[in-house]
Amino acid sequence: MSEEAEVLFERRGGAGIITLNRPKALNALTLGMVRLIHPRLESWALDGDVRTVILEGAGERALCAGGDIRVLHDWGRAGDPRLMEFYREEYRLNRYIKRYPKPYVALMDGIDMGGGVGLSVHGSLRVATERLVFAMPETGIGLFPDVGGTFFLPRCPGATGMYLALTGERLRAADAIYAGIADIFVPGDRLEALKATLAEGATPEDVTAAFAADAGAAPLASLQEKIDRHFSAASLEAVLASLNEAADGGDAWAKATLATLAGKSPTSLLVTFSQMKAGAKLDFEACMQLEYRLTNRFMEGHDFYEGVRAVVIDKDQKPRWQPARLADVPRADIEKCFAPLSRGELSFE
C-alpha cells in the first residue's frame, strides 16, 4: 500500500498494526478510512496468527483529532447521502471495536478527540502518553458527544462525564486515567518497545506490568467535589444556577466554567444533558442507536453547520446559534431529537 494511503496496515509478529495516516490533517477520520479499518479488523479477528491489534496515529501531533467535519459540513449542505453513511458506518465500527474478540490496544499519543476517541476509548487497553490531549468538544460546534460518549461519559466518576460532555474540557494523561478514559500511562519514548513486546506475543496484562508508569497527580480529582456539587443537578438550568451562585460567592473555577458554557450551542447543551442522563441507563448498542437518532436530527438543523463555519471555515470563533439563548430553545424540540426514526434506525447486522 502506498505511503499516501489514509490508513496503513502492518503485520508484525503476532500484532496487526493500524496507523491512521493523515498527519497533516491530524489524522482526521474520513469515510474512506472507516471503510478500510472495519473489514481489516474483521479479517484479523479470523486470523489465528494475529493475537493483538494496535491502533496508532502517524506523526507526532495526534492519534486522531476527530471526524473530518469540514467534509461532513459540505456533504450536509449539498444533501450528499455520504453524510449519514459516514455516521452509520462510523458508529458500527465503534461498536465493533467495543466488542472486538481480541486485545485491541490504542496508543493515545497526542490529540485524541471526537471521532478519534471512538477508535480508542472502546479498546481493551488504552495507553496514554505525556502528549495526550483528550476532549469531546462537540457542544462547541453545535453537535453532541457521540462515538459512544453516551455510554462511556456517564460511567466516569461522579458527575465528571456530564462536566466533560457539556464543557468539552481537555484532559491530559493523569486526568484521562482518573476518569476511566485511559488505562495506563506510558512515556512516548517507550511506545516502540511496547509495540515490539506485543508483536512478540505479550498480553495487555504483560504490557501493563512492564510499561505502566506513574502519570502523576490528576487535577480533575481535586475538582471532583465541585464537579459533583454542580453537575449532578437535575436539569441544565439547575447546573447553571448552582454555578452562578458559586461564582457570585467568588469561586473562580465556577466563573470560568460558566464562561466556557456560554460559548456553546444552547441546543447542544440541552440535548447533551438529556443524552448523558439517558446513557447512564442504556447498554452500549442502545447508546449508539440513540446517537444515530440524534445525528440525523442535528444534520437537519442549523447549529452544526454554523459551528463548523465559525470554528473551521471562517475561523471567527463567533457562532450565531439559533436559538441563541437557552430560554428560547423549545423543550419539545429537544424531546423530538430523541424520538425513533421513521425509517433507517442504526442496526449492527
Question: Which residues belong to the active site?
Answer: 67, 115, 138, 146
Q: CB of 115 within 8 A of CB of 28?
A: yes
Closest CA to 151 of 288, 272, 271: 288
Q: CB of 146 within 8 A of CB of 294?
A: yes
What are the helix (H) ranges across 168-223? 173-178, 191-199, 204-211, 219-222
Distance from the Cα of residue 40 to its chain's centroid: 22
* Residue environment code for 277-305, b if the CB has 16+ CB neighbours within 10 A, otherwise e: eebeeeebeebbbbbbbbbbbbbebebbb
DSSP reduced 3-state for 62: strand
Tell how strand 62-64 and strand 111-113 pair up. parallel
Largest CA distance in the chain: 62
CA pair distance 168, 84, nearest whole angstrom: 24
CA pair distance 142, 134, nearest whole angstrom: 19
* Residue environment code for 178-196, b if the CB has 16+ CB neighbours within 10 A, otherwise e: bbbbbbbbbebeebeebbe
Q: Which residues contact 14 (CB under 8 A, 6 or more apart)?
A: 49, 50, 51, 52, 198, 199, 200, 201
Q: How many CB atoms lie within 10 A of CB 77?
A: 11
Q: Which residue in the block uniquely carries the three cell numbers 454555578?
A: 243
